[in-house]
Structure 1
Amino acid sequence: MKFTQLIMMLLLVMLLAACGAETPPEPEVPENGGQPPAEEPEEPAEEPVVEPEEPEEPEEPAIEESDPYSFFMKDGTTAHFRGDGNEYAQLTVRTVFLEENHIAVYEDNGGTTILKVFRIADSAADLVLEKPEFYEEYNPPLEELKSLQPISRYFELPIEAGDKVDGLEVVEIDVAAETPYANFENAIMTEKLEDDGATIRNYYVEGLGEVKREFIMGEGADEFRVTSSLESIE
């Protein structure tokens, strides 16, 4: 009897212990069946948008200002001009540089020699002496050169079409000038109307100076023309 009661008590204790024990929670099963989540592919980084550079416009070469000396022959130069229409149209022109920005030009037409002296400034040239029948070398002291007074303005820079200097008008600045020496395409042509109705035209080329001159009288069938054109340079 006592043994049976002991057994019953043990069973009761074991039952109470089983009822009091906590039931462990069931493990959560991941939705993807326990597989590790797939890594989402990284989106490629956006490359910075590089706008094409606009091509740089080439710089225009700087245009150097004209040098007043470039409208005269070089120092010590002797130029020969072919003459047409008159026995005195043939010319020999000799250029000599003097002191303090002065230039002497000896012009021999076969009958006489004319001396012309020019004074050069930064952007102009003035005729300061003119002597016909001059057959010597002009070598004045510096003080005499400085004392010469301008007679007329020879040219002013920059030279542009329409300029008028002492009755001389710049008619064109890119005109053709045909000479025995060369055919020039960029000559500067000036005109001057004389009191007797004659027209005097002069053609200049930068780097050489005067390359051609024309004396024109009358029109049409009555036209009389005398021309002196550059033929050679020594």
Structure 2
Amino acid sequence: MKALYIPLCLLLMLLFGCQGQDNTNKPDNTNDETTSEETKNGKQDEQKTTDEEQEEQVDLSQFFKPDHSVAYFLGDGNEFATYTEKTTRLNDQYVGTIVDNGGVTMMNIYKIGDDKIEIVYKEPVDMNAQFPDIEEIKAMQPIETYFAAPLEVGTTFGNWKIIETGATLETPYKTFENVIVIEEVDDQYVNRKYFVEGFGEVKTESVMDTDQGEKYTVTSTLEKLTTE
């Protein structure tokens, strides 16, 4: 900045002329600066909250197996605990599975929402049964909640509760990390399901009380996964 040349007499007049004047007419930018800083911090906090919400929001459609895949589950404790599961992505909102345990073939249809997955159809069918058309499926009413967010310990839906996240699970197929475990507790049994993002349900476990006062356990664990 260029220096300004001011005559000595004018400088003295300015100096002495300013004496005795109060500061009531001086602009006070303190509040403006504070308000500006608060606004800035508010926007940052708002952006942070939005980012956190986006990070916490999970795509529940990823808790199913790939489209046109066939999963083979190895059973233990019961002859019908071994089964196959065929998965079909009916559209972005609906997923269908055909489960065959050698005794019965079940068709299941799931509706995927923002914060939960609901079962809208669950009936025994023939081996070669076809899924209903999508308009018919859209008219179906929820039967029960299959899985729900937030994916954290303590979340409940129906009779189920998330009891563990970030678990490690060894299966014949592979060792999974970040497993989510849900549990259903009754007076005579405890049921557990193990979910993994990208695979959905990879193990089920039922622990029942016998008449002899002992525990009887039945498990079905993912052994193989192929794509048709």
- 2:200 maps to 1:209: yes
| Match in the other structure for 1:76 | 68
Alignment partner of 1:88: what SS? helix
Structure 1, residues 187-208: CA drift from partner, whole Å, max 9, x if none? 11111124x6111110001111
Does the 8 A contact of 1:76 with 1:95 survive in 2? yes
| Match in the other structure for 2:191 | 200
Of residues 148, 157, 164, the one that matches 1:165 is 157
Does the 8 A contact of 1:95 with 1:105 survive in 2? yes
1:108-127 equivalences in 2 (<5 Å): 108-127=100-119
- For 1:232 and 1:221, the matched residues in 2 are separated by 35
- For 1:87 and 1:141, the matched residues in 2 are separated by 34
Q: CA-atom RMSD, angstroms?
A: 2.3
Q: Normalising to structure 1: TM-score of the pair?
A: 0.68
How much does 1:153 deviate? Answer: 1.3
Does the 8 A contact of 1:192 with 1:200 survive in 2? yes
The unaligned stretches of length 5 or more in structure 2 are: 1-53
Residue 148 to residue 75, structure 1, CA distance change in 2 (3 Å): same
The unaligned stretches of length 5 or more in structure 1 are: 1-61
Residue 181 to residue 217, structure 1, CA distance change in 2 (3 Å): same
The structure with the largest alpha-carbon Rg is: 1
Structure 1, residues 108-152: CA drift from partner, whole Å, max 9, x if none? 111111111001122321100000244333332232111100011
| Match in the other structure for 2:140 | 148
Q: Normalising to structure 2: TM-score of the pair?
A: 0.70
- For 1:203 and 1:89, the matched residues in 2 are separated by 15
Structure 1, residues 138-177: CA drift from partner, whole Å, max 9, x if none? 3322321111000111122231111110010111012222
Residue 179 to residue 82, structure 1, CA distance change in 2 (3 Å): same
Q: Which has the higher helix share?
A: 2
